[in-house]
Amino acid sequence: MNGNEMKNGHSKDIIYVSSIPWDFSWHRQQEMMMYMSEHGFKILFVEPCDKKHPFQRFFKQECENVWRLRPCGFPYERCSRLINIINGKMARTEIEKAARQLKFEKPILWLDRVHGFDFEYFQKNSFVVYDLVDEILAFGRVRNDRMLLELENQVLKRADILLSSSQTLMERKIKQSGREGKSLFLPNGVDCSRFSIETGKVTQQNPTIGFIGHISKRSINYNLVQSVAVARPDWTLLFVGPGTEEDKNALKEGYPNIVIQDPVSGTEVPRVIREFDIGMIPYNTEKEDMDYVFPRKACEYLAAGKPVISTPLKEVECLRPYVQVATDAEGFIRKAEEVTDENEIATEARRTFAKKYDWNFLMKGLVAILSQPNESGT
C-alpha cells in the first residue's frame, strides 16, 4: 500500500476490521460502512476468520463501494498470543493484496476488533479510528484477558479518533489506557426512512410483543420473559434473530406463547417490526457489560412508531420517556397494558424523537472530520 502522506485531506479508502461478518445480523458496523460507502468512501470490510472453515479465504464485492474479505486463520486467536500473531501475519498478507487490487492509497484504518490483526504494521501511516462497540472482555468463554487488554490499550492510545455508543464504556476505556486525544460519543442510530411505514394502533387484545436481535440466555432475562408469558397467555412474545438451539429451546420450551423465528436480513427488519404491537428489550441487567449497551433496536422500534419497554439499562436513560422502563414482570405487564390506550399522536411523537438518532444526522460530524485536511502527519 502507498504510505505517502495525502496533502489535501484523509483518504476516501477505508480498511474496516470488524468483529462480525458482513452477513451476520445487521449491526452498527454494517450501518456505518453503508453510510460511508454512500458518501463516496470505498470500504474493504475485513471479517474474522470462519471458525468452522478457518482456511477458506473469501473476497468479493458485496455492493457498490463495499468489498468483503475473510482471511484464513486459526481458531481461538482470543486466547493464544501465538495464534493471534500468526493470524495477524496471514491477514496482513491478504489485506495488502486486496487493497492493491482495489487501488487503495493510504487508507483510513477503522476497527472494532483488536485481535487477529497486525495493528502495529497497519497503523504506521494511517489515520486510525477505533470504535468501542463492546467491552472486549465481555464475550468469549475462552480468552486471554491480559493479551486482549494489552492489544486494546495499544489501539486506544494510538487512535486518532475514538468512537463509542456508550458514554460509560468510553470513560472507562479512557481511564484504563490513559488515552489523550479526540473522542466522540456516537450512539447507535437508525435509518428512519426505512422505518417510515404505516403502523396501526396497538392491539388491545392478544398483542404481539416483539424482540429482534441475538437470542442468548446470557443477555436476555429469561425469567422475566417467561413470567410475562405465564401471566398473560393471551399475549404473543415473538423473538426474531440468531442464537444457539440450546438457548432458543431454553427460552421457549413449556411456553406456547413464546415464539421464535429465524433471523432476517437487514432489509427485512422494518417488515418484521411492523408486525409488532410493542417492541421489547428484556436484557439481563445483572450482567456488568449491560451497562455499556445502547440498544440499536430501541431506535428502530421508535422510528417505526412502536411503543418500547426495556429493562433498566444505563444507556437507555437518554431515551426516556419514549422508552418505558420495567424492572420486573409485573412492571412490564403494567407498562404494556398502559400503551394499549395510546393514540396516533404518541406514535408520531416517537417517530419524531427517533430522527435525533438518524444515521444521516449522527454521521455528518464524523464525515466532516474525515474530510478535513490531514494536518496531524498520521
Task: Write the pLDDT tens digit of every residue in 166-222.
Answer: 888 898 889 888 887 788 899 999 999 888 766 555 555 789 999 999 999 989 999
Q: Which three cell numbers stand for residue 185?
A: 460519543
Q: Can you tell me which residue has the cell 456516537?
A: 186
Average pLDDT, whole number, for the chain?
A: 87
pTM of the predicted structure, to 2 decimals: 0.83
Query: In this model, does residue 56 exceed pLDDT 50?
Result: yes
What Å distances lie between residue 233 and 157, 254, 302, CA to CA? Answer: 52, 12, 26
Task: Give yes or no for a contact between 332 and 309, defined as CB atoms under 8 angstroms apart.
Answer: yes
For residues 3 and 375, which has the higher predicted lDDT (pLDDT)? 375
- What domains can you pick out in the chain, each with its CATH number? 13-186+363-371 (3.40.50.2000), 192-357 (3.40.50.2000)
Residue 127: pLDDT above 80?
Answer: yes
In whole angstroms, give the CA distance from residue 151 to residue 128.
15
366, 2 contact by CB (below 8 A): no
Could you report the per-residue pLDDT of 245-268, keeping only the tens digit for each? 999 999 999 999 999 999 988 888
Nearest CA among 218, 256, 220 for reference residue 237: 256
Q: Please check the confidence at residue 6 and state whether its pLDDT lies above 70.
A: no
308 in Cβ contact with 322 (< 8 Å): yes
Burial of 208 (0-12, 13-18, 19+ CB in 10 A): middle
Between CA 11 and CA 51 the distance in angstroms is: 33
Q: Are strands 13-17 and 42-46 parallel, antiparallel or unpaired?
A: parallel
pLDDT category, 123, cuts 50, 70, 90? Answer: confident
Could you tell me where the beta strands, DSSP code E, fall in 226-329? 236-240, 258-261, 278-281, 308-310, 323-325
